Chains A and B, each alone.
Chain A
Amino acid sequence: MPDEIKSPPPPPPENEKPTADKPATPGGVKPTPFGSVQSETKTTPTETSTPPKAAAPATAAKPASPATPAAKPAAPAAGHPAPPKPAGPVPTPWDSPLVVKYKREYGTGINPLTHLGQNYFEVDGSLIPEILQLLRDDEKFDYCVDLTAVHYPKREKQFDVVWVLYSFQRNERIRVKTQIADGETVPSSVPLWATCNWLEREVYDMFGIKFDGHPDLKRILLPDGWKGFPLRKDYGILQQDNEWVQINLGIESGQ
């Protein structure tokens, strides 16, 4: 453990925290110099009434684990006032003149949300080319920062395709998200933003999502003969390694 000289004491543990990090807290029991002898005393955890001097090994067990019965309830009471963990911030509807305009036009086809101070549209797949075109031309989102995908194998529509857009004029960043099923294609954004050329190739390379109208859709980071799409969740890294080693080196992989 490296030294944290000026840092505050570590926050209260989640649940299964090893108590070795904070030996002095629970129940006001003093840490003893015998704290290192822990292993042999684990079988007798309940000997709380014995004076510390008389049974040094027993008290030494206290920093280890289920120490005194008094210490157990004390720790959660002090550290965790609210046991049900807060789920964290959730996406809330995003409101702005831009949203009002688009919402009026497209209704339920788009779902504007904001999360952690970042705005995004969830857009129906069929509206994607239209929305992207409008965002670029009318709203001046002239810089496509990034284009990527996320795989959710349990969903019916397995993939999220995400565009990150930025407007120099508005100094604003938004994301456009859509869901597509495996095998579905997405219209290419290369005519809108030239930068999408390589970005779409990378998405194809890693997820196998095809972009309609892309000038040269082929693998970019992986070799042409590569099998499978590595960033899909069902792509096993070990299986790939075993196969490659067997075919190319003719030996059993050590993995």
Chain B
Amino acid sequence: MTDPRSISPLDLDTPDKTFLDANELVINMGPQHPATHGVLRVILRLDGEKVLGLECVIGYLHRGVEKIAENRTYTMFNPYVDRMDYVAAVSNGLGYCEAVEKLLSVEAPPRAQYIRVILTELNRIASHQLWLGTHALDIGAITPLFYTFRDREEILKIFEKYCGARLTTHAFRIGGLQYEAYEGFESDVRNFVSFVKPKIDEYEELLTTNRIWLERTKGVGVISGKDCIALGVTGPVLRASGVKWDIRKAQPYANYKNFDFEIPTGENGDTYDRYIVRMMEMRQSLRIIEQAVEGIPEGPIMAKVPKVMKPPVGEVYHSIEAPKGELGYFIVSDGSTQPYRVRVRPPSFVNLQALDVMCRDQLVADVIAVIGTLDIVLGEVDR
């Protein structure tokens, strides 16, 4: 028992130094956090509610896709690319198949090209729908999640009817397609277009003029077009910052030059503009699908490619406009059946780098909004 007299009297003039008084606080967000869309760990340096800076720790989902590629043949590696951006597997497959086709100097037949475009654009809508639902959920709007998942289901049904898989579709083959469009494919796609058009208006009704939504997104996570370019940020994030650039227009691949569509852009580069750009992109995708489904030509769906693929020695870089930005494949062939090196340029990985710039001097709650608006998929970040 201590002598009560030995306890010094309370000093009420100088404040206690506890961690609550510290100006700076370093905390972890993730890797197990529902709003980081997977296993992303963000180390935040905070001053009260204000973000002073942050660092991303990634790699929790690293599977060594590029190393796997070196130990597989060109054909065997094809399904692996679906596992990177698993909400836009069709786009991943398109990029890879076209890159190898370039290496082989073959081109998919026109009919295959049309079906490819339809499926890829359907997948872009599905990816944007999933983004919208989860992004809105993060910010506090629960309803859009149910709406978007309900409608995305119709796209997945088309995928399932086409190739038997819903997410990791492996829809395309090097040189074209393996499966002919099933009976009723075209009418299914047409029905989907007319079904989903009013639904996109419905999402907008819920959010576009919603006061809470505006408060949470306007002026949040602003990034300028110049910063985007310096940081290599592409896709809707770049376009929302006012840079009108889309690989489908700038360097058309597949047969996108046959279709009439616009590149939606924003002005302010904030979370709200990125939302608007993605909503408009869904409508443009529907426009492309409408044109493509009317014009599917008859003919073969597979070009002449050898069963044992040995692309000539050389290297090629091919990139496409994936729902998240520029998805590139750099493939080096040594003339054997297995690629010597496959490098994937993942849009999510590069875009995530902008998180620090976009979150500086914002509030902690806005970090969630910015992670959502970047539309990252950790499977692709980590590969």
In the bound assembly, the distance between CA atoms of A251 and B140 in angstroms comes to 47
Would you give the 0/1 interface string for B338-377, flagging 1 where the beta carbon is closer than 8 Å to chain A?
0011010100011001000000000000000000000000
Question: In the complex the two chains form, is A164's CB within 8 Å of B330's CB?
Answer: yes
In the bound assembly, the distance between CA atoms of A4 and B307 in angstroms comes to 13
Provide the residues of chain A in CB contact with B311, threshold 8 Å.
88
A198 part of interface (Cβ distance < 8 Å): yes
B102 part of interface (Cβ distance < 8 Å): yes
With both beta carbons as reference points, the residue of chain A lying nearest to B232 in the complex is identified as A195
In the bound assembly, the distance between CA atoms of A75 and B357 in angstroms comes to 64
B197 part of interface (Cβ distance < 8 Å): no
With both beta carbons as reference points, the residue of chain B lying nearest to A202 in the complex is identified as B349
Question: In the complex the two chains form, is A88's CB within 8 Å of B312's CB?
Answer: yes
Provide the residues of chain A in CB contact with B85, threshold 8 Å.
none
Question: In the complex the two chains form, is B306's CB within 8 Å of A171's CB?
Answer: no
In the bound assembly, the distance between CA atoms of A143 and B233 in angstroms comes to 9
With both beta carbons as reference points, the residue of chain A lying nearest to B179 in the complex is identified as A2
Which residues of A in the span 109-159 have a Cβ within 8 Å of any Cβ on B?
115-116, 118, 142-146, 148, 150-151
Provide the residues of chain A in CB contact with B176, threshold 8 Å.
7
With both beta carbons as reference points, the residue of chain A lying nearest to B312 in the complex is identified as A88
Question: In the complex the two chains form, is A14's CB within 8 Å of B314's CB?
Answer: no
With both beta carbons as reference points, the residue of chain A lying nearest to B337 in the complex is identified as A14
Provide the residues of chain A in CB contact with B66, threshold 8 Å.
206, 231
Segment of A56-64, A97-105, A217-225 in the binding face: A217-225
Provide the residues of chain B in CB contact with A4, threshold 8 Å.
178, 302
Provide the residues of chain A in CB contact with B350, threshold 8 Å.
195, 198-199
Q: Which of B64, B313, B316, B317 contacts A146 (CB 8 A)?
A: B317
With both beta carbons as reference points, the residue of chain A lying nearest to B351 in the complex is identified as A195
Given contacts A221-B62, A237-B67, contact A198 B349 (CB under 8 A): yes
Given contacts A143-B229, A195-B231, A222-B59, contact A87 B313 (CB under 8 A): yes
Which residues of B in the span 231-264 have a Cβ within 8 Å of any Cβ on A?
231-233, 243, 245, 250-251
Which residues of B in the span 308-329 have a Cβ within 8 Å of any Cβ on A?
308, 310-317, 319, 326, 328
Question: In the complex the two chains form, is B328's CB within 8 Å of A8's CB?
Answer: no
Provide the residues of chain B in CB contact with A237, threshold 8 Å.
64, 67, 71
Total residues of chain A contacting the partner, CB 8 A: 52
Provide the residues of chain A in CB contact with B230, threshold 8 Å.
142, 193-195
Question: In the complex the two chains form, is B250's CB within 8 Å of A171's CB?
Answer: yes
With both beta carbons as reference points, the residue of chain B lying nearest to A10 in the complex is identified as B307
Question: In the complex the two chains form, is A88's CB within 8 Å of B313's CB?
Answer: yes
Q: Shortest beta-carbon distance, B200 to chain A, in Å? A: 30
In the bound assembly, the distance between CA atoms of A14 and B306 in angstroms comes to 7
Question: In the complex the two chains form, is A175's CB within 8 Å of B229's CB?
Answer: no
A42 part of interface (Cβ distance < 8 Å): no
A197 part of interface (Cβ distance < 8 Å): yes
In the bound assembly, the distance between CA atoms of A86 and B306 in angstroms comes to 14
14 A-B pairs with C-beta separation under 8 A: A5-B180, A11-B306, A14-B307, A21-B307, A88-B105, A88-B312, A89-B314, A91-B314, A115-B314, A144-B232, A145-B319, A150-B332, A199-B350, A231-B341
- Add 15 more A-B contacts to A11-B306, A150-B332, A237-B67 (CB < 8 A): A2-B179, A7-B301, A10-B307, A11-B304, A13-B306, A14-B307, A142-B230, A145-B319, A145-B326, A145-B328, A151-B341, A168-B229, A219-B59, A221-B382, A237-B64
Give the B-binding residues of A (Cβ under 8 A).
Answer: 2, 4-8, 10-11, 13-14, 17, 21, 86-91, 115-116, 118, 142-146, 148, 150-151, 162, 164, 168, 171, 173, 175, 193-195, 197-199, 206, 219-223, 230-231, 233, 235, 237
Give the A-binding residues of B (Cβ under 8 A).
Answer: 58-59, 62, 64, 66-67, 70-71, 102-103, 105, 111, 176, 178-180, 227, 229-233, 243, 245, 250-251, 299-302, 304-308, 310-317, 319, 326, 328, 330, 332, 335, 340-341, 343, 345, 349-350, 353, 382-383
Closest 6 CB pairs of A and B: A88-B312, A195-B232, A7-B302, A221-B59, A146-B345, A148-B343
